[in-house]
Amino acid sequence: NGGEADSGGFRVDLFVDPNAEPSAPQRGDARQIMGNLRPGDVASVTLGAACGGRCVVYVLVDAADVVYEWDEGDNLYGPDAAR
């Protein structure tokens, strides 16, 4: 949490070969519910979903768009290649 306030709970979603770049409030192929993060806290997430060979993946933090943020533009990672 790079902010100045607690995050509250939020969801992290993994998208495998989506038709378009994902955005909140879409649901991914795999997801994990996260608890509160205090300012400066860091958390790790392990997500997996079926990938038939090579695929493109994205990870979207706060996929349900419940955390108030000044910058919503830093919640998406990807595209990245995976197997």
pLDDT tens digits, 8-43 = 999 999 999 999 999 999 999 999 999 999 999 999
pLDDT tens digits, 48-82 = 888 888 999 999 999 999 998 888 889 999 999 99
Instruction: Retrieve residue 61's tokens.
Output: 């933090």
- Residue 33 β-bridge partners: 11
How much is the pLDDT for 39?
96
How much is the pLDDT for 16?
96
pTM of the model: 0.90
- CA atoms lying within 13 Å on the CB side of residue 30: 13
Helices (H), the chain: none
